[in-house]
Amino acid sequence: MRYDKVIKGGRVVSSTGTTRADVAITQERIAAIGLDLEGAEVIDATGKLVLPGAIDVHNHFQLPFCGTVSADDFFTGTRAAAMGGVTTICDFAIQSKPNPIMAAVEARRAEADGKVVVDYGLHAGITDWNKDRAAELPALFEAGVTTFKMFMIYRSEGWQSNDGALYSALRETAKLGGHIGVHAENDDLITLFQKEAEEQGLTGCYTHALTRPTVTETEAVSRAIQLCEAACGRLYVVHMSTGRSADILKEARARGVDVHAETCPQYLLLDDELFKREDGHHFGTCPPIRKPADQETLWARLADGTLEVLATDTCTFNSQQKAMWQGDYRKIPFGMPGVETMLPLAYSEGVRRGRFDLGRLIELVCEAPAKLFGMWPRKGTISVGSDADILVFDPDHQITISADKLATNCDYSPFDGMTVIGWPLTTLVRGKVVMRDRQFVGEAGWGRYIKRDPPVQH
Ligand SMILES: [Zn+2]
C-alpha cells in the first residue's frame, strides 16, 4: 500500500502518550498509523514530535472594534495560525441588532471563505436575546453554529446582555446541547472605578489595571456560574484572567456545574507592570493582564484540569492603531496578536518548565477544544479517519520572539524578546502542507468552514 503522503520517523503525541510511528495520509484524512509506511511523498520527522494541529477557539480577525478594524484579516490571521501550528480557528459572527444572528453568520462567512488558509468555525455573538433569537437556534445549529457568546460588558457598544437574557439564553441553548460563552466583567463596577479615576485626573495606561481590579471579573464569573447552575445551562468562560476566578470555577465544577473555561498566554506570561512602559498601551486588552500571583494560580489550574482550554483572544492592533489612545487608557484599541505564538509558548513555558506534561498540552490545545466545540474526533487527534491536520514540531529549535520573525500583520509581539525552545516546523491542513520547514506555502481559500456539532457532553 502506497499512501499519498507519509510523515516518517517522528514521535506521535496524544494526551495518553507518545509513540514512535509513521502517519499516512490519503487525500484529506489520516489513513494509517504504524511502522514502515510508504508514501508518494515523504515528510521526514526524525527527531521531531508529530502533534495534532492545534485549535484556537478564540480569534477576532478583521473585526470592527474600538473605532478601527483589527489588523489581521482572515488571510494574514490564518497564515499566522498555520505558521504557529494552529490548523483550526474559531472566530465570531457578532449579531448586529436588531438583525438576525444568521445574517451575521452569513456575512462573516462571505468575509472568510475565500481568504482562510486553515479551517475555521464560527461562534455567534448574541447582542439582543429575545423570542426571535431563540427561534433562530435550530437553524443556527443546522448551520454548524452550536456555541454562542454574550457580553456582560460593552454596554456602550450595544453588546451587553443583562442577567435575564443570559439566564434565558443558557436555558434555551442547553436544550439543544449548545453552550453560552461569556465575557465576564462587571460593567457597573468598571464604570464606577473609571469615574473615580477621572475625578483624580488619572488617564495613563496603568489606569486600565486600576479600574479593572480582580472583583470586576470574579463577581461576573461567579454570577454567570450561578445563573448557569439555576438554568441547567452549559457555560464557557472566555479569557479567564484571575487566579480567584479559576478557584471559583474549580468549586463550581466540583459541585457538578456544567461550566468550562479557557485562559490565554497573555494572562499566564505578562503582568500589569508592563502598563508602566512607554509602549504599555500595546498590552491593553479586556480583561487586562494581571499580577504574578494570578499567573501562578492559572498555571496550576491548567495543570489540575480546572481550566480546560488554552486559546488566544487574538485581536491584532498594530502600533499605529494602538497610538490612537493618545495618552487616554479608555481609547486604547483592546487586543493583541497571539495565535502564532500560543503553541510554542505553551510548550516552552508549560512543558519544558515542568508546569504540565506534553499529554496535558495536547488536551489543552487539541483534544478539549475539539470536544467542547463539537469537532471531535474529526479534529484534535491523530487517529485513522480524522482530518489530516498535523503539526511536525521541532522540540529543540530555539527562537527569541520578535515581530519580524512572525507572519502576523503586526509590527510588535506582546512576547517580544522572550526566548522559547520548541517551534513548529511543518503544518498540514487536511493533508495539504501549508507551512514547510518554517516557510509559508499555504493558499487563501484552502481552509474550509467547519459545521460544528454540539459540544461533547462530559
Ligand atoms: Zn474575544
Q: 218 and 367, same structural domain?
A: yes
Q: 146 and 244, same structural domain?
A: yes
Cell numbers linked to 14: 496524544
So what's the pLDDT on residue 67?
A: 87
Grade residue 66 by pLDDT with cuts at 50, 70 and 90.
confident
So what's the pLDDT on residue 189?
A: 97
Q: How far is the CA of 151 from the centre of ligand 1 (A)?
A: 10
Q: 394 and 290, same structural domain?
A: no
Q: 349 and 245, same structural domain?
A: yes
Q: How far is the CA of 291 from the centre of ligand 1 (A)?
A: 20
In a domain, 430, yes or no: yes
Q: How far is the CA of 385 from the centre of ligand 1 (A)?
A: 32
Q: How far is the CA of 58 from the centre of ligand 1 (A)?
A: 6
In a domain, 448, yes or no: no
In a domain, 452, yes or no: no
CATH number of the domain within which 150 lies: 3.20.20.140
So what's the pLDDT on residue 226?
A: 98
In a domain, 451, yes or no: no
> Regarding predicted confidence, which is higher, 67 or 395?
395
Mean pLDDT for the stretch of residues 97-113:
97
Q: 201 and 322, same structural domain?
A: yes
How does pLDDT run across 306-317, given as a tens digit for each residue? 999 999 999 999
Q: For residue 288, is pLDDT > 70?
A: yes
Q: 391 and 365, same structural domain?
A: no
So what's the pLDDT on residue 376?
A: 98
- Residue 51 pairs in a beta bridge with 391
In a domain, 341, yes or no: yes
Q: How far is the CA of 384 from the centre of ligand 1 (A)?
A: 33
Q: How far is the CA of 287 from the centre of ligand 1 (A)?
A: 10
Q: 176 and 46, same structural domain?
A: no
Q: How far is the CA of 310 from the centre of ligand 1 (A)?
A: 13
Q: 289 and 251, same structural domain?
A: yes
Mean pLDDT for the stretch of residues 179-200:
98
CATH number of the domain within which 12 lies: 2.30.40.10
How does pLDDT run across 398-441, given as a tens digit for each residue? 999 999 999 999 999 999 999 999 999 999 999 999 999 999 99
So what's the pLDDT on residue 157?
A: 85
Q: 310 and 242, same structural domain?
A: yes
Q: How far is the CA of 149 from the centre of ligand 1 (A)?
A: 9
Grade residue 458 by pLDDT with cuts at 50, 70 and 90.
low
DSSP class of residue 402 equals -
Q: How far is the CA of 33 from the centre of ligand 1 (A)?
A: 37
Q: How far is the CA of 20 from the centre of ligand 1 (A)?
A: 38
Average pLDDT over the chain, rounded to whole?
Answer: 97
Mean pLDDT for the stretch of residues 219-224:
98
Give the three-class secondary structure for 179.
Answer: strand
**pTM for this model (two decimals):** 0.98
Furthest CA-CA distance within the chain: 75
Q: How far is the CA of 89 from the centre of ligand 1 (A)?
A: 13
Q: How far is the CA of 200 from the centre of ligand 1 (A)?
A: 30
How does pLDDT run across 248-284, given as a tens digit for each residue? 999 999 999 999 999 999 999 999 999 999 999 999 9
Q: How far is the CA of 422 from the centre of ligand 1 (A)?
A: 27
Share of the chain above pLDDT 90, in %: 97
Q: How far is the CA of 57 from the centre of ligand 1 (A)?
A: 10
Q: 65 and 18, same structural domain?
A: no
Q: How far is the CA of 454 from the centre of ligand 1 (A)?
A: 20
- What protein residues have CB closer than 5 angstroms to ion ligand 1? 313
Query: Rounded distance, CA 429 to CA 86, Å?
Result: 9
Q: How far is the CA of 60 from the centre of ligand 1 (A)?
A: 6
Q: Are the CB atoms for 42 and 4 separated by under 8 Å?
A: no
Q: 239 and 213, same structural domain?
A: yes
How does pLDDT run across 353-391, given as a tens digit for each residue? 999 999 999 999 999 999 999 999 999 999 999 999 999
In a domain, 126, yes or no: yes
In a domain, 20, yes or no: yes
So what's the pLDDT on residue 156?
A: 85
Task: Provide the residue range defining the domain that includes 34.
Answer: 2-51+385-409+419-440
Number of domains observed in the structure of the chain? 2
Q: How far is the CA of 91 from the centre of ligand 1 (A)?
A: 9
- Residue 429 pairs in a beta bridge with 432
Alpha helices by DSSP H, listed for 364-455, are: 368-372
Q: How far is the CA of 313 from the centre of ligand 1 (A)?
A: 5
Burial of residue 204, with CB atoms counted within 10 A of its CB: 0-12 exposed, 13-18 middle, 19 or more buried: middle
Q: 13 and 112, same structural domain?
A: no
Mean pLDDT for the stretch of residues 19-32:
98
For 61-94, letters b (16+ CB in 10 Å) and e give bbbebbeeebbbbbbbbbbbbbbbbbbbbbbbbb
